[in-house]
Every structure is written in structure tokens, then in C-alpha cells.
Amino acid sequence: MQNASTIDMHRQGHAQVKPEPLIEKLRKRSRFNSKLLIIGAILFLIGFICMAIASFSDKKLLMFLPVYLVILLLNGCSIVYSRFFVGKVRRYWEQIEQRRQAAAQGDQRLLADEQPTADAHALTLPITIEQRPRLSTFAIVIAYLALSCLIGAIIGVLVTTHMIPLSGHATSLMIFIGAGAGALFALILSGVFTFAMYSRVRQQITLTESGLIQAGITSKVRSIPWSEARLFALLGVYGAKKYPYPVAFELASEHEIIRWNWIRKNSLKVWYFANSRVSPEEYEQQMRGVLSVVAAKTGLPLYDLRKEIPSNLNR
């Protein structure tokens, strides 16, 4: 590694890089979730009216209360997801975006403390670095989702049996409905999660003499010629400020962004959903080689987007 002050800044000064597309996606998701909240409120009102009518006409209809409680649970999760998580993640990426553009303009306050040694021969080009799913992490998260849904279904059944005295047959039917609703929701949630994360994990980067290429099973092939690169940066991860290692690296041009992860062991702060396809020692050497080749081919310094900068850049 070499000190940041020795890096040649000739490629920067008035560079612009492609804006972070995730920010607009998060804004659209917030608007979509707001619509879901309205739909949930309407369903709540309809369910409340139906339950009131059933309490005066046919009490057997009250056995469907678990389904009603599941709807309330989903609505509550939507509120938390929309108002808290998505909003905070969007603000996090808005701060990162301000730092990205400042770094592309050559703000030396964002230079990484340690710079990779520029070496175009650190790796034999072309080279492709692949990753595969880390099944242990997938299993833990899917088990957590399934357990959460099961607990929700159990709570729904217990609340119903406590509030409404039903016959043995009605109670059995109610348990079946509640368990079925919980299992169906767990299956859907796990399926969506698995597909989304698997498609992100199954990516690879290829370094050639002319540029950097990224390909995955669902996303389009991205490529940046070395001569068009305008930003070389490292990123952390949302919610883990004190995690000591860089989680991801970015190479950006005016029209494209390519990011790749540096996979490490899982910790309490950061969980990785991918494993390297080579030994840890060889992978470590490859990752250091990637940084050296990128630094040499682009002539760009490495910026640290985890760094805090004065508030006039974060407004």
C-alpha cells in the first residue's frame, strides 16, 4: 500500500459519474408502500365491519379471525418497512451519492487512508472472479423468516381461542386456517427472498486489458473501459459503521457503475450471502490484485465513501 498523498489526480477535477439508480428505486418503493398502506387500511375497515356483522348474526364466521389478524400483521410490517427501513436506507444512499459526486470532483478529504499499489501485472489478464451462494447464510435467514411466520400464526390462533369460545370442530378448522395462512406467507416470503439474493450472489467480474466487465444471471452485462473510468471507491454497508473492513468496491464512469464485494467471514455486524470459488488465500490474493490492476489501468486514486465529511456537503 502507498500513502494517499502520492496519488496522481490528473484524471479528475470536473468528472461526473452516473447517479446512483438505487435512490430512485427506493423512492418508487416508498410510494408503492404508501399505496399498500392505504389498501391495508381499507381492508382493516372492511374486516372490522364484517366481524361486527358476524358477531350479531353467525358467530361461526368469527373462526376466520386469524386471517384477519394476519392481514393486520402484514399491514403493520408494511408500515415499519415503508416508514422506517426504506426511508433510512434511502437517506443513507443519498449521503453516499453526495460523497460519490464529491469524490469524482477530486475531493481529497475522501481519499482512502491506504491506497492500493498500482501494478498492471498483479494479475494475468483476462481473469474472471466468480462467487457462489453461501448456503449456511441462506438457511439461517430462511429459517428465521419461517419461524417468524409460525410465531405470528400461533399468536393469531391463541388470541382467537382466548377471545372467542368455539366448538372443537370450529377450533380445529381455525387452527388449520391460521397455520395454512402462516405457511403460505412464509413460503412466498422465502421464495421472493431466495430469488432476489441468489440473483445478486451469482455475479462475476472479468478484468481484461481494455476494461472491467460484470455479468450475472438476471442483470445486464455491464462494462467500463479503463479510459472512461472516473471514480474508484470503496464502500461500507448500511447499519455497520464500525465494521473495520471495506465491504464493496466501485468503479464508475459517466454512464455505468460496477460494484463487487470483498467476501469475508460472517460477523455479528455483516453477513455475506456469497462464497468465493477458490481458497481463502487465493481469493485474498485475487482481491488485492484487482485493486492494483484497477489503480494501474485507470490512474485513479481510491476514495473511501465511508468517511464523514463536513455538513455543507451532506445537506
Q: 157 is written with which cell numbers?
A: 390462533
Task: Indicate whether 267 pLDDT > 80.
Answer: no
Task: Indicate whether 213 pLDDT > 90.
Answer: yes
The mean-pLDDT minimum among 24-28, 88-92, 108-112, 177-181 falls in: 177-181
Looking at per-residue pLDDT, the higher value among 220 and 228 belongs to 228
Range of 122's domain? Answer: 7-143+200-313
Whether residues 168 and 208 share a domain: the answer is no
Residue 214 contacts residue 285 (beta carbons within 8 Å): no
* Domain-embedded: residue 2: no
Q: 161 is written with which cell numbers?
A: 381461542
Whether residues 164 and 237 share a domain: the answer is no
Residue 8: band (very low, low, confident or very high) from pLDDT cuts 50, 70, 90? very low
* Rounded Cα–Cα distance for residues 272 and 177 (Å): 36
- 39-65, pLDDT tens digit by residue? 777 776 776 676 666 666 655 555 565
Final residue of a structural domain among 197, 216, 238: 197
What's residue 5's pLDDT? 43
* Interval 296-301 mean pLDDT: 96
The mean-pLDDT minimum among 46-55, 94-103, 104-113, 298-307 falls in: 46-55
Whether residues 180 and 164 share a domain: the answer is yes
* Rounded Cα–Cα distance for residues 234 and 305 (Å): 6
Looking at per-residue pLDDT, the higher value among 69 and 151 belongs to 151
Within 10 angstroms of residue 218's Cβ, the number of other Cβ atoms is 11
Q: How many structural domains compose the chain?
A: 2
Q: How far is CA 252 from the centre of its chain?
A: 19
Whether residues 299 and 217 share a domain: the answer is yes
Residue 37 contacts residue 77 (beta carbons within 8 Å): no
Whether residues 160 and 239 share a domain: the answer is no
* Rounded Cα–Cα distance for residues 66 and 72 (Å): 10
* Rounded Cα–Cα distance for residues 68 and 49 (Å): 12
Nearest to 249 by CA among 236, 239, 240, 238: 236
Whether residues 149 and 298 share a domain: the answer is no
Whether residues 12 and 130 share a domain: the answer is yes
* Rounded Cα–Cα distance for residues 138 and 115 (Å): 34
